[in-house]
Amino acid sequence: MDALIEINHVTHYYNTADESVIAALDDVSLKVFPGEFVAVIGHNGSGKSTLAKHINALLLPDKGSVTVAGLDTKSPENLWEIRRSAGMVFQNPDNQLVATSVEEDVAFGPENLGLPASEIRSRVDESLKRVDMYSYREQSPHTLSGGQKQRVAIAGVIAMRPEIIVFDEPTAMLDPVGRAEVMQTIGRLNREEGLTAVLITHYMDEAVEADRVIVMEQGKIVMDDHPKKVFSQVAELRRLHLDIPQVTELAIQLQSAGLNIPSSILTVEEMADALCQ
């Protein structure tokens, strides 16, 4: 199978205020395959957002190359097709919602594609249903909760019929209810509709839900493995100043208190099973 996203030895430099240069990405290579759900974790400043912006050509590599659905991000003629096929959802939904009603907001992208009005209408309705926000379609976005706003932002992206959505800390500004709503939406789009999802997060309980976890440190990928494998490396994660999932932490404590419990527990369900045995 061909990779949907192919990041090939990419280095990205920024000029800093004091006129030095930093490599925010330092020879990074990564392939993401169709239908995968990949989480990206790493300390602040490790290069996660810079990586995300390379996936939809908001940034271009100083060295190496990025292809999305086989299209090189460096070719200007590919720009629109790359932005359509790899959508992005950012941290602050208020920066993404611009219109006076929910449905106008979702229509914004399809309108820019120059689609006929009937096609725009059907895409808007379908997208809002897919994120469970159809009944709010005539409301003003500012009357919505954070989680609802973020779901409208996701609807705006799926109205473009993307193959990939890159989520850059989409739950960072949400309360626990909003976080759960957005995570359910992402999980459903991935599992039931085959959407490829790249989720940048600092919540380990969110990363656990992915098929694969990428760990970044100082512009490099330092781990790339199944959540079970990544979160079993407790000492290494601590060295990288990353948390481990709360239930995993609990499992380790119970283990050191003498209980016969595996330390590979990642979810509340697994913990319940282990305790019942």
Q: Which structure tokens are listed for 64?
A: 């190496």
For residue 47, the minimal CB distance to Mg ion (Å) is 9
Is 182 strand, coil or helix?
Answer: helix
- Does residue 14 belong to the site contacting ligand ADP (CB under 6 A)? yes
- φ, ψ (nearest 5 deg) of residue 213: -120, 130
Burial zone of 68 (CB within 10 Å; 0-12 exposed, 13-18 middle, 19+ buried): buried
Give the integer Cα–Cα distance in Å for 197 and 201: 12
Which one of residues 8, 13, 31, 45 is an interface residue with ligand ADP (CB under 6 A)? 45
Asked whether position 49 contacts ligand ADP by CB under 6 A, the answer is yes
Rounded CA separation 127/162 (Å): 12
**Binding to ligand ADP by residue 21, rule CB under 6 A?**
no
* Per CB under 6 A, 48 contacts ligand ADP: yes
Interface of this chain with Mg ion, residues 49 to 108, rule: CB under 5 A: 49
Cβ proximity of 231 and 204 under 8 Å: yes
- Only one residue has tokens 């912006």, namely 53
Contact map string, positions 15 to 54, toward Mg ion, x by CB under 5 A? ---------------------------------xx-----
- Binding partner of residue 151 among Mg ion, ligand ADP, none, CB cut-off 5 to 8 Å per kind: none
d(CA 253, CA 255): 5
In the complex, least distance from residue 156 CB atom to ligand ADP, rounded to whole angstroms: 22
Asked if residue 260 binds ligand ADP (CB under 6 A), the reply is: no
Residue 242 CB contacts under 8 Å (≥ 6 apart), including other chains: 41, 42, 43, 204, 215
CB nearer to ligand ADP: pick between 50 and 67: 50
Among 20, 44, 118, 277, binds ligand ADP (CB under 6 A): 44
Residue with tokens 């527990």: 265
Q: Which of 7, 10, 36, 50 binds ligand ADP (CB under 6 A)?
A: 50
Using CB under 6 A, which residues numbered 138 to 177 contact ligand ADP? none
Q: Is 185 in the site for Mg ion (CB under 5 A)?
A: no
Whole-angstrom distance, CA of residue 41 vs CA of residue 203: 8
Q: Give residues in contact with Mg ion (CB under 5 A).
A: 48-49
Q: Give residues in contact with ligand ADP (CB under 6 A).
A: 14, 16, 22, 24, 42, 44-50
